[in-house]
Structure 1
Amino acid sequence: MVLNEIVWKLRTGSAWRGVPERHGSGQTLYTRFHTWALYGTAGRMLRAIQAEKDAVGDIDWLVSVDSTIVRAHQHAAGGKRGLAIGA
């Protein structure tokens, strides 16, 4: 159950403190996830789940990136003024 709640948080992008009460305490989930990440447990669990799902064809490894969610600083549109390309 804890794993499902952590996955919900990661999938939605919610803050730990924003996890609904029905999912348990955000602090408890954070502490568990942090401990799992620190000791490599989270990575091992992810690899095991991926291997299991890949073996039965439940994973589509096609990745699509929507660039509309990539934020750029307001000044990122141009370079320094007065410099010519190749100068």
Structure 2
Amino acid sequence: MSRRFELTDQEWDLISPLLPPMTPQRGGRWRDHRQVLNAIIYRTRTGIPWRDLPERYGPWTTAQHRLQRWEADGTWARIEQHLIDTDEDTDLDAQIDSTVVRAHQHAAGARKGGRVLRTHESPRASESPGEV
């Protein structure tokens, strides 16, 4: 059973040959690539901090370090290029715009309707306080 934000078997079969070998040059065996990749996808899609990764993905530090290692050694670039080459239906000219407009922290909770508060004004020199 595949959970939300996790690779299906078909997706895994497409990506797995592009990942580095499971036995690093030094030390012991690596944690399962699929588990770590699912952790990276989950964190990317949900936007949670690394430390809040669910336990089913293993230690958050493993996922974070593997993401950095794969970025540095070109693994992500190989995966991206392979996916572009194998998917003929992808529109490579498509673009996504995500514009963020930040408001001042005190802007929240303002009254609606644009009510203007008057400031205390001094009377004009030509008017006396008794005139209307």
Name the TM-score class by shorter chain.
Answer: 0.5 to 0.7
Is residue 2:41 matched to residue 1:11?
Answer: no
**Partner residue in 2 for 1:23:** 57
- Residue identity opposite 2:79 in structure 1: M
**Partner residue in 2 for 1:85:** none
**Partner residue in 1 for 2:101:** 71
Aligned equivalents of 2:91, 2:53: Cα separation in 1: 28
Aligned equivalents of 2:70, 2:57: Cα separation in 1: 18
Kindly tell me the number of residue pairs found equivalent between the two proteins. 69
Aligned equivalents of 2:60, 2:97: Cα separation in 1: 29
Instruction: Summarize the alignment of residues 38-57 of structure 1 with structure 2, pairs less than 5 Å apart.
Output: 38-52=72-86, 54-55=87-88, 57=89
Identity %: 32
Flag the 1:64–1:36 CA change in 2: closer, same or farther, 3 A: closer
- Residue identity opposite 1:71 in structure 2: V
| Structure possessing the higher radius of gyration over alpha carbons | 2
Aligned equivalents of 1:3, 1:21: Cα separation in 2: 14
TM-score, normalization: structure 2? 0.43
Which string of whole-angstrom CA distances, capped at 9 and with x for unpartnered residues, describes residues 16-49 of structure 1? 1111111221100001010011112112112212
Is the partner of 1:17 in helix, strand or coil?
helix
Aligned equivalents of 1:60, 1:8: Cα separation in 2: 25
Is residue 2:68 matched to residue 1:34?
Answer: yes
Aligned equivalents of 2:85, 2:41: Cα separation in 1: 17
Aligned equivalents of 2:71, 2:85: Cα separation in 1: 19
- Unpaired runs of at least 5, structure 1: 75-87
When the two chains are superposed, the root-mean-square deviation of aligned CA atoms in Å is 2.2
TM-score, normalization: structure 1? 0.61
